[in-house]
Amino acid sequence: MATFEQGLLEYKSMKYRVYLEQDEDGIYVATCPTLPGCVSQGHTRAEATANIREAIEGYLKSLVKHGDPVPPGIEEEVIEVTNR
């Protein structure tokens, strides 16, 4: 059975899009749409970001442990244009 570490060697560094939104109580809610149900929160953006990173790592470990496919990470470029 593959370990998470073996999975990381196979996939190396992966990037997932995360959305951060502040709720009505001021708590930051972080979601990762590529990984259904992967949600976390924090009192600050930094805390929510750290928590969702931990949640994503746990989610991926579970996928590998159960032999489920790991969704590919994203690759994106930021293109800057001048609006004249």
Confidence of residue 2 (pLDDT cuts 50, 70, 90): low
Instruction: Please report, as a single letter, which amino acid is at residue 63.
Output: L
DSSP for 66-82, please give it: TTPPPPP----------
pLDDT > 50? residue 1: no
Please, what's the b/e burial string for 68-82 (b: 16 or more CB within 10 A of its CB; e: otherwise)? Answer: eebeeeeeeeeeeee
Distance, CA of 80 to CA of 40 (rounded, Å): 31
Confidence of residue 4 (pLDDT cuts 50, 70, 90): low
Decide if 78 is inside a domain: no
Between 75 and 54, residue with greater pLDDT? 54
Decide if 75 is inside a domain: no
pTM: 0.76
When divided into structural domains, the chain yields a total of: 1
Distance, CA of 1 to CA of 40 (rounded, Å): 29
Decide if 72 is inside a domain: no
Distance, CA of 58 to CA of 74 (rounded, Å): 18
Domain that holds residue 23: 4-65
Q: What is the pLDDT of residues 12-69, one digit of tens each?
A: 678 999 999 999 999 999 999 999 999 999 999 999 999 999 999 999 999 999 999 9
At 31, which CATH number? 3.30.160.250
